[in-house]
């Protein structure tokens, strides 16, 4: 029997069968991304009228659901992704988790779901990380990936916002996204599919956005590419994102380094990494711009040698350089297909910051343990 203890927020029921130290060590060796899960998870139910109920931290495992559950039919589902990092001094800290808590609320509003209070979001993360602290990897570039999600659980086929929901939090030790070192990707500019349209759900981190993107991702693979680049839905010419990441372009103008990322129009997902890199670029003394950038400008700037690098960014892979761009119209190399110095520098600074190896001048780290 495991002892049950309570906090004001969550009932803690530790797993009766946590992985042994050897089993854990085995599963944490080259864990990849999102394949290995820790011993525990958090669940918090919501009921219209009653609000958020008493949550529970318990052994990781399957959840039971009615087959009529609204999420399975109409896709009322949102999620988040952030990480906990081992610090030089042995503590564990997370990078800007309150930004994820707020974005989770923004996503919930768009999907007509209840907002999880920021404190509950952060407390659930603290409780799970504390319980599964042995699963936080210690190497730089490795981390514990936290995946909060919320689903509609009404067992009713009528189309309307559910009156009951379930918030869940799971955690996954994640290795370096690129164990063999950062390797630039080849991208396919999608002219057949769009990810998000004005008035739609592009700015929300909802499951449906991903479901709708898979066929374009498959097409990109068919064209020999690793990732898809999304264009705006109206003109089909302004770059929005790359796969599930934000995108940056680096220019060399009159001896100055200029870092450009598409402006937030409502159809882009406002990435925490994107926002952080804009600041870190300025810290390097570079100019940082948010504006529209068309595929024509992209091609011309590459050909004229004004654009020196392209890279994508997000929590999972941090920074992914783009080495080659393909579309129906042609095929261009970026920086000779190699990782450029700006992407490499930003990646190094961000990772060092996240692991507490350099001073946290922007107050972005939240100590967990
Ligand atoms: C999550 C996500 C990103 C990156 O956001 P981060 O907060 O930096 O992890 C970018 N684009 C899409 C579509 C996403 O879902």
- Choose which residue among 78, 264, 271 to substitute to test ligand 1 binding: the one with the highest number of ligand atoms within 8 A of its C-beta: 271
Atom 5, ligand 1: which residue's CA is nearest?
A: 271
The residue among 250 and 5 whose pLDDT is bigger is 250
Q: What is the pLDDT of residue 355?
A: 95
Share of the chain above pLDDT 70, in %: 97
Pairwise CA distance, residues 102 & 118, whole Å: 7
Q: What is the pLDDT of residue 9?
A: 74
Q: What is the pLDDT of residue 180?
A: 67
Mean pLDDT (the chain) is 95
b/e burial code for range 268-292 (CB count within 10 A of at least 16 → b): bbebbbbbbbbebbeeeebebeeee
Atom 15, ligand 1: which residue's CA is nearest?
A: 244
Residues ≥6 apart with Cβ < 8 Å to 78: 104, 107, 108, 111, 113, 149, 150, 204, 205, 206, 207
Q: Where are the domains of the chain?
A: 10-176, 185-354
Q: What is the pLDDT of residue 174?
A: 95
- Whether the predicted pLDDT of 5 surpasses 70: no
Q: What is the pLDDT of residue 73?
A: 98
Closest CA to 346 of 273, 293, 269: 273
Any bridge partners for residue 185, and if so which? 322
Structural tokens at position 163: 């009156």
- Whether the predicted pLDDT of 257 surpasses 70: yes
- Whether the predicted pLDDT of 4 surpasses 60: no
Share of the chain above pLDDT 90, in %: 93
- Choose which residue among 81, 147, 269 to substitute to test ligand 1 binding: the one with the highest number of ligand atoms within 8 A of its C-beta: 269
Atom of ligand 1 nearest to the CA of 209: 13
Instruction: Give the distance, in angstroms, between the CA of residue 218 and the centroid of all CA atoms in the same chain.
Output: 20
Q: What is the pLDDT of residue 176?
A: 78
Reduce the DSSP state of residue 149 to 3 states and report it: strand
The residue among 178 and 220 whose pLDDT is bigger is 220
* Entry pTM: 0.96
What is the whole-number distance in angstroms between the Cα of residue 102 and the centre of ligand 1?
A: 14
CB atoms inside a 10 Å sphere around CB 197: 13
Q: What is the pLDDT of residue 181?
A: 73
Q: CA angle, 192 as apex, 187 and 196 as ends, to 5°?
A: 85
- Segment 113-145, tens digit of pLDDT: 999 999 999 999 999 999 999 999 999 889 999
Domain 185-354 has CATH 3.40.50.2300: no
Contact between 260 and 306 (Cβ < 8 Å): no
Contact between 309 and 281 (Cβ < 8 Å): no
State the pairing for strand pair 185-189/318-327: parallel
Q: What is the pLDDT of residue 175?
A: 87
Pairwise CA distance, residues 68 & 345, whole Å: 50
Q: What is the pLDDT of residue 191?
A: 96
Q: What is the pLDDT of residue 291?
A: 98
Q: Is 305 left (phi over 0), alpha (psi -120 to 50) or beta?
A: left
Reduce the DSSP state of residue 111 to 3 states and report it: coil
Pairwise CA distance, residues 241 & 261, whole Å: 9
Q: What is the pLDDT of residue 179?
A: 63
Residues ≥6 apart with Cβ < 8 Å to 180: none
CATH topology of domain 10-176: D-amino Acid Aminotransferase; Chain A, domain 1 (3.30.470)
* Lowest mean per-residue pLDDT among 7-16, 21-30, 74-83, 186-195: 7-16
Q: What is the pLDDT of residue 2?
A: 40
What is the whole-number distance in angstroms between the Cα of residue 7 and the centre of ligand 1?
A: 32
What is the whole-number distance in angstroms between the Cα of residue 285 and the centre of ligand 1?
A: 25
Contact between 162 and 169 (Cβ < 8 Å): no
Pocket-forming residues, ligand 1, beta carbon under 6 Å: 81, 205, 241, 244-246, 269, 271-274, 314-315
CB atoms inside a 10 Å sphere around CB 296: 10
Contact between 179 and 214 (Cβ < 8 Å): no
- Segment 179-230, tens digit of pLDDT: 667 889 999 999 999 999 999 999 999 999 999 999 999 999 999 999 999 9
- Whether the predicted pLDDT of 320 surpasses 90: yes
- Segment 36-51, tens digit of pLDDT: 999 999 999 999 999 9
- Please compute the mean of the pLDDT values over residues 289-314 and round it to a whole number: 97
């Amino acid at each position: 029997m495991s002892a049950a203890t309570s906090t004001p927020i969550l009932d803690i029921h530790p797993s009766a069968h946590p992985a042994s130290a050897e089993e854990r060590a085995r599963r944490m060796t080259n864990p990849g991304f999102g394949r290995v899960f820790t011993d525990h998870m958090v669940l918090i139910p919501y009921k219209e009228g009653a609000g958020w109920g008493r949550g529970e931290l318990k052994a990781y495992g399957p959840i039971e659901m009615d087959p009529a559950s609204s999420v399975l039919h109409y896709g009322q589902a949102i999620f988040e992704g952030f990480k906990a990092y081992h610090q030089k001094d042995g503590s564990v800290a997370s990078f800007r988790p309150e930004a994820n808590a707020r974005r989770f609320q923004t996503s919930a509003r768009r999907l007509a779901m209840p907002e999880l209070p920021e404190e509950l979001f952060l407390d659930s993360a603290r409780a799970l990380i504390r319980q599964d602290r042995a699963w936080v990897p210690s190497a730089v570039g490795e981390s514990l990936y936290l995946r909060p999600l919320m689903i509609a659980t009404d067992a009713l086929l009528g189309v309307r916002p559910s009156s009951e929901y379930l918030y869940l939090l799971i955690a996954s030790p994640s290795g370096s996204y690129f164990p063999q070192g950062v390797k630039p990707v080849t991208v396919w500019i999608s002219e057949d599919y769009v990810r998000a349209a004005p008035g739609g759900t592009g700015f929300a981190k909802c499951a449906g956005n991903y479901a709708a993107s898979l066929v374009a991702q498959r097409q990109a693979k068919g064209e020999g590419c690793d990732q898809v680049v999304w264009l705006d839905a109206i003109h089909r010419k302004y770059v929005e994102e790359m796969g599930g990441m934000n995108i940056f372009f680096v220019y060399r103008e009159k001896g100055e380094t200029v870092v450009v990322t598409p402006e937030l129009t409502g159809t882009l997902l406002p990435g925490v990494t994107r926002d952080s890199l804009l600041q870190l670029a300025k810290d390097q003394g570079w100019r940082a711009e948010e504006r529209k950038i068309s595929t024509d400008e992209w091609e011309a700037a590459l050909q004229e040698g004004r654009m020196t690098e392209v890279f994508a960014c997000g929590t999972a892979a941090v920074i992914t350089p783009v080495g080659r761009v393909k579309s129906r119209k042609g095929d261009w190399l970026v920086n000779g297909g190699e990782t450029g110095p700006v992407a490499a520098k930003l990646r190094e600074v961000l990772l060092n910051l996240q692991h507490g190896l350099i001073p946290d001048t922007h107050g972005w780290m939240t100590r967990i343990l």
